[in-house]
Amino acid sequence: MNYFTKSRVEAFSDGIFAIIITLLILEIKVPHIKSPESIGELTESLLHLAPKFIAWVISFLSVAVIWVNHHRIFESLKHINHAVFWLNANLLLWVSFIPFPTALMGDYPNNKLAVSFFGLSSLMMGIAFLFFRYYMWKRPEITKDYSEEYLRRGVRNVLLFGPIPYAVGVATAWIHPYIAFACYALVTIYFIFPQSDTPSTQVE
């Protein structure tokens, strides 16, 4: 009996994504100022929070993009087996870790290690996606009869626009943290726009 039903795994995953999105904003605290009526002091405090806001936006959009791609993967599957469940769990593990490096990068935006660490965690998430796509490529029978070429292209695209650019971000953080910030943002911006990759099925 297969106890990994597709609907339950999707519902479980969606719940985790919702929690992650919520945890991201909880890291941004209202600043405490000595003079509550001071506009200048409050303005300065808000400006100090700017890196945290930027880190939050990058991570929020990243999680939204991850959810969309996660949904696309599950839509392409006929059913869930043992391996798919744990590949999905591995992906969720790294996605659920995102709030910590986000907070770290927001608190220490000029610290090369902190900014690099964010990229490293995103790199691990990208590798988890890569494992997922690779398994689908090697086990096409679990998909909705997609062609070998389409599944192979999915692996290639995940590699080119996931682990590789995040690895570049990790490296460039040691040159200048703001270059890495831009790299992380560009990866997210790329995935925001609709992809024209249309599934093709096996021809009998």
Res 128: pLDDT: 95
- Closest among 12, 158, 190 to 72, alpha carbons compared: 158
**5-25: buried (b, 16+ CB within 10 Å) or exposed (e) per residue?**
eeeebbeebeebbeebbebbe
> Based on the number of CB atoms within 10 Å of its own CB, is 50 exposed (0-12), middle (13-18) or buried (19 or more)?
exposed
Containing 21, the helix (H) or strand (E) segment is helix 6-26
Res 20: pLDDT: 95
Res 134: pLDDT: 94
Please provide residue 77's backbone torsions phi and psi, each rounded to the nearest 5 degrees.
Answer: -95, 140
Please provide residue 146's backbone torsions phi and psi, each rounded to the nearest 5 degrees.
Answer: -75, 150
Tracing tokens 């690779």 back to the chain, one arrives at 134
Rounded Cα distance between 84 and 128, Å, is 12
What value does the mean pLDDT take over residues 43-70?
92
- Of 75-84, 148-157, 169-178, the range with the highest mean pLDDT is 169-178
pLDDT per residue over 71-119, tens digit each? 999 999 988 889 999 999 999 999 999 999 999 999 999 999 999 999 9
Strand pairing partners for 77? 143
- pLDDT surpassing 50 at residue 202: no
Q: How many CB atoms lie within 10 A of CB 92?
A: 20
> What integer best gives the mean pLDDT of the chain?
89
Confidence of residue 175 (pLDDT cuts 50, 70, 90): very high
Residue-wise DSSP of 67-127: HHHHHHHHHTBS---HHHHHHHHHHHHHHHTTHHHHHHHHH-TT-HHHHHHHHHHHHHHHH
- pLDDT surpassing 70 at residue 5: yes
Res 84: pLDDT: 93
- Closest among 121, 15, 137, 119 to 73, alpha carbons compared: 137
Size (the chain), residues: 204
Res 168: pLDDT: 94
Res 196: pLDDT: 58
Rounded Cα distance between 129 and 77, Å, is 15
Q: Which residues lie closer than 8 Å to 157 by C-beta, 6 or more apart?
A: 197
Rounded Cα distance between 73 and 154, Å, is 10
Confidence of residue 27 (pLDDT cuts 50, 70, 90): confident
pTM: 0.87
**Is 133 in contact with 155 (CB distance < 8 Å)?**
yes
pLDDT per residue over 115-148, tens digit each? 999 999 999 999 999 999 999 999 988 888 888 8
